[in-house]
Structure 1
Amino acid sequence: MASTQNETRTRRSLGRSKGTCLSCRQRHIKCDESKPRCTKCVKNSRECTYGATDPSKDWRRNIVTFNASEPTEETGEGSSCKELNHSAAFSSGSRAMVPRNASPSFSLPAQLPILMGEGYSIRDVQALSHFVEFTGNDLIGSHFLKSLWTQGGIQLAFNNDFLMHAVLMTSSTQLQRLNPASYEEHRIESNKHLQASLRSFRGAISSPTYVTNNFEAVLATTFLFLMHSGSNPTFDPSQPGMDGFLQHACGLYDIVRYNPACVPRSPFAPLCTPMLLPDISPDSGPGYDLSLMIKTTNPHYANSDFGSYESIINSLTPILEIVESELPFGGASPDALVLYLVHWLSFLPSEFVILANSHQPKALVIMAHYYAALAFVLAKWHKGWWWLRERPVFMIEQTDAFLGEDWEVWMKWPISVLKMCEEENGHWGRAVAADRFDEVGVEEEMGVLLSADFHPCKLGDESWARKIASYR
């Protein structure tokens, strides 16, 4: 009897292992925790997923994972807000961007007394003002969504310190790019606020009740983390690590789908509604080329394939086709298109993200095609998205250099798109005129995106989709 009880406890303990996949956990069997699929699931042809029993853990882990360096101790004058000279030259401007190498003027925030009492420095006050005047207006590019950051987002920040630090981090990151002469100073400030935000954020999101009651602040902070990782592209195959941009996009989707009741009433809903264009299977073009790549029998390319490659490629193909279309941006607003492309990352299953972070060639080629579509839109649309503009070209060039000549046949399209964007008079060579999409009606110009529909699950996870559909 005692032996039976001990065996039962052992099996339960194995089933509760933090790294155990869901399939093994449900069967109370030992899991070797291999990724993306454990040995038992591979042997028995079972679906293998991790972390599904506690949904909050997935997005929490994704959100707080950064490759950022530790902040350097602040040097120079550490003036506190209490030492602020109120006769200093504060001015409110309406400039679209601060000139390079120029120190931006800044406005005195109405909540400055609150900020003063919390130990923030004069640099923090300047960063906050810069965010209100410039950074917040250039995060997305859409007139409709700008007020989310410069009005509602700021108000939330004064009630949630992790969001305030994330706002200051974002502003300092932009100031790095605008003021090369003080790049290092702003980099230190950005890292300081990143670490401060993460410390506070980890504690806040440990409580599901807190997340539900403060969903907008949590979501806004998640977006700023996503933007921060997007503005710092890295690609170093010699070092183990992960692409924070992919990781945080997955976390963004998880926080949305595991808090569905909070989304409709949130002003951030336009940024996170799970909509996806219908899959297509073309007989030509870049999407077709990708489908050939994953099906090739050439032993040189016939390495292990992840099962949902096909669904990922089919969902990406409609956007790849827009690059080849004669209709500008498929008739969609460029801002809406870029937002859709950023959001598309959120549908990538964690197994694919692992393969991309492990520099698996086929996963990298798929992502290079994604970045080519993103580079194309950004190259022809010169408004907003400052935090995203360096990433596409960087990732394509680094991927191409890493894969080398053996994979150039599959990298041909992304490289050709980069050249196309550079050619002044080539196909889609010239930037689209801003008045093509006026600010008032920009959200109504959806074009090809009109066919996007609600998508309740990660790509390739049809079992979850069926489960959601049963409740609708």
Structure 2
Amino acid sequence: MPRRTHTKSRNGCLECKRRHIKCDEKHPICSNCRSSERFCEYADRFIRAARSRSSKSSTPSPVGPVPDELPLGRFADPISSSDNPPVNMLHAELFFNIDCTLRSLSEGGAVWINSSDVMQIIIATPYLMNEVLALSALHLSVVRSDDRERYRRYAAQLQTHALEIYNQMRLDVNKETCVPLFLFSCILGMHTLCDVLVHREDTSFDEFLERLVHCFRLQLGIRVVISGPTWSMLRESILKSALQNGEIMFEWDTELGPECARLLRLIEAAKLGDTITSTYRNAVQALQVSINATIRGAVKNVSGVTGWSVIVNPEYVEYLTLRRPEALVILAHYAVLPHWHRHIWLFGDGGRFMIESISSYLGPEWAEWLEWPNRALGEPDP
């Protein structure tokens, strides 16, 4: 019996081709690779384009910026090939932009991230170097809107390379590895949060929330890096001064400000049960800590925005997954923090989007609960 013929996709990613599944060809990462957290690359198209150019002319082209059709390659990878060079001109561009990227974050209060000691560690650690280059590409995808998708694709590829190297190394946490692991966790968290808040595209609120929950779960992993004896090692490292300042900034205080106190009263009056109420109480207290960290000092600190998802309890994130309205209200209150930092490329208008989307999702019957977040959209920043 003759075999039934079918049309194959010629433009799918390499991973879907390897797994013999249909690729939806979304960029920078197809849906299959995104859901299974696999490395997604359309390198076959890039290689064909490069070979096509070389067959048209035997004269080498002058050195210049890397065009969109060339493969990205890996940074600090010992394996080299003519089709996929270990370092190319794009890497040089991203490396040159690292200082601008980190300086923009240090101006937002994350001073520790742009020190010379930290840069030496970044350069000496391949998985960390790849992630910092990925953050640099993400920065360019925001500030250079004309090349948004190209730089975003590079950011996704470099982040995937970073995670591949990290997973292959299976590092034990010790005095030598604790600092790069901590830096990697923090920068990976910033990258993921920015990608969710800024690169929303035309996704629905449900899709946005799924990506945000994934981001929060990833950032909760930072707890593993800084737990137990690891924290003691970090406090004796080159990050000692920064971490001591962070401890002061994120000092846990059960005294709530007027906005968080009002929110907690509404939650307790709703009679949700001891377990749920306790989870929400912890989330609101963590939110107050993050608010304090954000507005403490002369410069509003981005660590207050990125820190909440690290110190909030995992149970709250699960209630957020279930779309419980009270959990969404707490999220809307948290969204005020990135809204205060909307001038920083890392957050953009993500805070406003969350507040307005949650208000629309819950409807007018929750207007009393969402009074402060909506009011904050029209008020000057503190």
Asked whether the two chains share a fold, i.e. TM above 0.5, the reply is yes
Distance change (3 Å), C-alpha of 1:84 and 1:173: farther
Deviations 1:57-95 (A, max 9, x none): xxxxxxxx999785342536599xxx9978x79xxxxxx
Give the residue type in structure 1 aligned to 2:89: I
Identical aligned pairs, as a percentage? Answer: 15
Q: 188, 202, 206: which is aligned to 1:237? A: 206
Matched, 1:352 2:316: yes
Q: 368, 372, 381: which is aligned to 1:413? A: 372
Task: Measure the CA separation in 1 of the matches of 2:62 and 2:238.
Answer: 36
SS in 2 for 1:230: helix
Q: For residue 278 of structure 1, what is the aligned residue in structure 2?
A: 253
- Does structure 1 retain, via aligned residues, the 8 Å contact 2:338–2:350? no
Q: For residue 50 of structure 1, what is the aligned residue in structure 2?
A: none
State the shift of 1:293 in Å: 2.2
Give the residue type in structure 1 aligned to 2:310: S
Distance change (3 Å), C-alpha of 1:322 and 1:188: closer
Q: Name the structure where helix makes up a greater proportion of residues.
A: 2
Q: 57, 72, 92: which is aligned to 1:125? A: 92
Matched, 1:137 2:103: yes
Matched, 1:254 2:224: yes
Task: Measure the CA separation in 2 of the matches of 1:303 and 1:237.
Answer: 28
Distance change (3 Å), C-alpha of 1:388 and 1:271: farther
After TM superposition, the score normalised by the length of structure 1 is 0.57
SS in 1 for 2:236: coil
After TM superposition, the score normalised by the length of structure 2 is 0.69
Which runs of no fewer than 5 residues in structure 1 stay unpaired?
1-64, 90-110, 324-328, 422-427, 433-472
Give the residue type in structure 1 aligned to 2:287: L
Q: How does 1:447-458 map to 2 (within 5 A)?
A: none
SS in 2 for 1:243: helix
Matched, 1:394 2:330: no
Task: Measure the CA separation in 2 of the matches of 1:365 and 1:358.
Answer: 13
Q: For residue 144 of structure 2, what is the aligned residue in structure 1?
A: 179
Task: Measure the CA separation in 1 of the matches of 2:280 and 2:39.
Answer: 36
Q: How does 1:303-382 map to 2 (within 5 A)?
A: 305-317=276-288, 329=295, 332-336=297-301, 338-376=302-340, 378=341, 382=343
Task: Measure the CA separation in 1 of the matches of 2:339 and 2:219.
Answer: 18
State the shift of 1:294 in Å: 1.3
State the shift of 1:142 in Å: 5.2
Task: Measure the CA separation in 1 of the matches of 2:36 and 2:190.
Answer: 14
- Does structure 2 retain, via aligned residues, the 8 Å contact 1:67–1:244? no
Task: Measure the CA separation in 2 of the matches of 1:370 and 1:124.
Answer: 35
Give the residue type in structure 2 aligned to 1:177: V
- Does structure 2 retain, via aligned residues, the 8 Å contact 1:71–1:192? yes
Matched, 1:291 2:264: yes
State the shift of 1:179 in Å: 1.8
Task: Measure the CA separation in 2 of the matches of 1:66 and 1:334.
Answer: 38
State the shift of 1:266 in Å: 2.9
Deviations 1:403-440 (A, max 9, x none): 2223222112101101224xxxxxx5xxx8xxxxxxxx
SS in 1 for 2:278: coil
Task: Give the aligned length.
Answer: 314
SS in 2 for 1:419: coil
Distance change (3 Å), C-alpha of 1:151 and 1:358: farther
SS in 2 for 1:313: helix
Name whichever of 310-319 and 393-402 sits farther off: 310-319
State the shift of 1:169 in Å: 0.6
- Does structure 2 retain, via aligned residues, the 8 Å contact 1:296–1:302? no
